[in-house]
């Protein structure tokens, strides 16, 4: 990754900087610092982009003060929104398509009265933050997972190694390794052959 002393990107169309607690490993690629417009992490390491990993235009790191996002080696994130108040982990070689939402928190209570109170309180806050942090439950995306466009992965979900999530699916429960899931809510469609997934390149 080519980052100058001011932590800017030579090709960036947006005049932003890479936050000090963001680690870009060798060979990683970040298309624009605009991805950090909603970034508020105060963790020692708020985002790690692994070796050879890519985060393309439209990817947004909506990360709260305690949030930590890890993107594994050679993973590709193409215009996803990552909402993180605790932890979102994306494994090596994962492929996250455009408009995918990975969220470890809803940031609002489910109870209608509590939600109404939160909305009434919001205009009085200075600065006016994103809506209050609810309970956060880590999201984990395994190695070699493929998530199709417009899918939404809800808090607390783990997607097992080699799984595929169909486009526009809503994933609210754990996904077993080497399965295809799709729908709202996402359900297992079929099993994948682990031997095929493990073959070396060129076979």
pLDDT tens digits for range 101-141: 999 999 887 788 887 887 787 788 776 666 655 789 999 99
* Domain that residue 86 falls in: 22-197
Residue 125 in domain: yes
Number of domains in the chain: 1
What residue ranges of the chain have pLDDT lower than 50?
none
177 found inside a domain: yes
Residue 16 counted as domain residue: no
Residue pair 36/8 in contact by the 8 Å Cβ criterion: no
| The pLDDT of residue 192 | 93
CATH number at residue 159: 2.160.10.10
Quote the pTM value.
Answer: 0.89
pLDDT of residue 121: 79
With respect to residue 10, please indicate whether it lies within any of the assigned structural domains.
no
């Amino acid at each position: 990754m080519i980052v100058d002393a001011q932590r800017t990107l030579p090709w960036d169309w947006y005049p932003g900087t890479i936050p000090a607690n963001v680690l870009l490993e060798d060979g990683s690629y970040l298309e624009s610092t605009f991805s950090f417009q909603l970034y508020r992490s105060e963790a020692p390491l708020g985002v790690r982009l692994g070796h050879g990993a890519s985060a393309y235009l439209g990817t947004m790191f909506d990360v709260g003060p305690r949030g930590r996002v890890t993107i594994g080696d050679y993973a590709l994130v193409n215009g996803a929104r990552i909402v993180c108040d605790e932890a979102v982990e994306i494994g090596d070689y994962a492929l996250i398509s455009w408009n995918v939402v990975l969220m470890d928190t809803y940031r609002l209570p489910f109870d209608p009265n509590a939600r109404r109170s939160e909305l009434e309180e919001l205009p009085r806050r200075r600065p006016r933050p994103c809506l209050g942090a609810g309970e956060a439950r880590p999201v984990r995306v395994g190695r070699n997972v493929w998530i199709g466009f417009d899918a939404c992965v809800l808090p607390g979900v783990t997607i097992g190694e080699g799984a595929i999530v169909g486009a526009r699916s809503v994933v609210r429960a754990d996904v077993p390794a080497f399965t295809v899931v799709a729908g709202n809510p996402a359900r297992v469609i079929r099993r994948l052959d682990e031997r095929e997934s493990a073959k070396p390149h060129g076979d």
